Amino acid sequence: MNGTLSVASRVGEGSTFTVVLREVEVAAGLADGAAGGERFDAGAVRFAKALVLIVDDIDFNRDLIRLLYDSCDFDLVDAANGREALELARKLRPDLILLDMRMPVLDGYQAAALLKQDPELRDIPVVAVTASVMEDDMARLGSNCDGYLRKPLSRADLIRCTMRFLPHTLAGAEPGPAAARPAGSAAALAPELVAAMVQAADLADLVELQRLLAEVRPTDPALAEGLGRHLERFDYDAVRNALGRPR
């Protein structure tokens, strides 16, 4: 793990042990909540039959996604690295690919780029699954991925993201590619906040937009949810439109 262990002691006071672990893959968690603390009934979602390719070099992470998808009518296929993912994508043509970014042999960034360069595979939705929240990493994801999920992974986040790409129905709702909800209005937001979000959208600054989104949520939860969906698709034009500032 390329880590260090150190200790500092003082007589009569005690000791402080410090453990630093580097290069440790973050395993997905079992929490089942919606992003931003919003409640979401994942059990009310019914997906049509689909084939999903799960790509991760850690067995536990793949098994966890299988567990979170347990109630869905999916055929699930595993790959342990980007090279295997490309081979299976060419052979099986999955309906959705969940792609870890840090893997041996061929990492997720390289695999996503190759998938989008292939005329026969580029229309398959690719969702990055990553623990990274660095701005440079988010920019790289936006160029070749259709969405992203952040580790530790929750069932609600996984289901909501999947709803954006695969046909589904909701209890008491008509079939559709996504749940229809009012998107809210930017009219109640402070002009300074709207201007800051528009500027961040122009710069494709995902990290700053996520920070500003937390300021929107207390004023207009519906608008915040709609903006969050656009951000997960890296759709900055849709963010501008939702804020009433189209190009």
At residue 36, the pLDDT reads 42
Q: Packing angle between helix 155-163 and helix 59-68, nearest 10 degrees?
A: 70
Phi and psi at residue 233, to the nearest 5°: -100, 5
User: pLDDT per residue over 119-161, tens digit each?
Assistant: 999 999 999 998 865 656 666 677 788 888 888 888 888 998 8
At residue 2, the pLDDT reads 65
Specify if 25 maps to a domain: no
| Domain boundary, last residue among 145, 170, 195 | 170
| Domain boundary, last residue among 170, 204, 226 | 170
CATH number at residue 111: 3.40.50.2300
Residues in the chain: 247
Specify if 54 maps to a domain: yes
Specify if 19 maps to a domain: no
Calculate the CA 39 to chain-centre distance: 17
Do 94 and 160 lie in one domain? The reply is: yes
Which DSSP helix (H) or strand (E) runs through 230?
helix 221-232
Proportion of the chain above pLDDT 90, given as a percent:
33
Contact 234, 142 (CB under 8 A): yes
Do 43 and 107 lie in one domain? The reply is: yes
Question: How many domains are there within the chain?
Answer: 2
At residue 135, the pLDDT reads 59
| Domain boundary, last residue among 170, 196, 220 | 170
Q: Which residue has the higher pLDDT, 72 or 42?
A: 72
Closest CA to 62 of 118, 23, 122, 103: 103
At residue 181, the pLDDT reads 39
User: What is the pLDDT confidence band of residue 14, given thresholds at 50, 70 and 90?
Assistant: confident
Specify if 79 maps to a domain: yes
Residue 18 has pLDDT above 90, yes or no: no
User: What is the pLDDT confidence band of residue 43, given thresholds at 50, 70 and 90?
Assistant: confident
Do 84 and 132 lie in one domain? The reply is: yes
At residue 6, the pLDDT reads 83
At residue 40, the pLDDT reads 67
Closest CA to 107 of 135, 75, 139, 141: 141
At residue 23, the pLDDT reads 56
At residue 1, the pLDDT reads 58
Do 136 and 237 lie in one domain? The reply is: no
At residue 173, the pLDDT reads 53
User: What is the pLDDT confidence band of residue 31, given thresholds at 50, 70 and 90?
Assistant: very low
Q: Averaging pLDDT over each range in 105-109, 138-142, 232-236, which range is the top one?
A: 105-109
Do 166 and 190 lie in one domain? The reply is: no
Q: Which residue has the higher pLDDT, 10 or 97?
A: 97
Do 117 and 234 lie in one domain? The reply is: no
User: pLDDT per residue over 168-226, tens digit each?
Assistant: 888 755 544 444 434 456 777 888 888 889 888 888 888 788 888 888 887 777 788 88
Do 163 and 231 lie in one domain? The reply is: no
Do 114 and 204 lie in one domain? The reply is: no
Q: What is the domain range of residue 144?
A: 35-170
Give whole-number Cα distances, 46 to 73, 152, 181, 185, in Å.
8, 24, 17, 29
Residues 113, 86: Cα–Cα separation, whole Å: 11
Do 117 and 235 lie in one domain? The reply is: no
Do 138 and 59 lie in one domain? The reply is: yes
Phi and psi at residue 152, to the nearest 5°: -70, 140
Query: What contacts 228, CB < 8 A, 6 or more positions away?
Result: 35, 36, 213
